[in-house]
Chain A
Amino acid sequence: MKRVLIAGATSAIAHAAARRFAGEGATLMLAARDPDRLAANAADLCVLGAARVETFVIDFDETPRQAELLAAAEADFGGLDLILVAWGVLPDQAACEGSVALTLAAWQTNATATIAFLTRAAMLLERQRQGTLAVISSVAGDRGRRDNYVYGAAKAAIDAFLQGLRARLHGAGVRVITIKPGPTDTPMTAHRRKGPLFVSAERAGDLVYRAAIGSREVVYAPAWWRPIMLAIRLIPEGLMKRLNLSA
Chain B
Amino acid sequence: MRAVLVRSLSVAVALALLMSVTVWRLADRDAGRFAEQLARRVATALLVPMAAQSFQQPGGFDRAVLLDRLQPFLAGGVVERVKVLAVRGDRATVVFSDEPRAEGLAEGLGRPSVAGVPRDASHRYERSLAGSAKEVFFPFRDAHGQASRLELYVPVDTARPTIVVVLAVLLAGLIVPLIHTRSRRPAFPAGELARRDLARHLHDGVIPELAGARMLVDNLRDAGDADLARAGVTRGELADRLHTVLSSEIGQLRTLLTELVPPEPVGVHLPSAVDGLVDRLRPASALVITTSVPVLPGLPAAVAPVLLSVAGELLRNAIRHASATAVHIAVTAAAGRIRLTVADDGIGFDPHAPVPAGHVGLRLVRDLLREHGGVLAVAPSSGAGATLTATWVMPRPTRCSILPGRLQLCGRNSWLKMRATRASSSACTCGSSSSARKRACCR
Do A and B come from the same complex? Answer: no
Chain B residues within 8 Å of A, Cβ to Cβ: none
Chain A residues within 8 Å of B, Cβ to Cβ: none
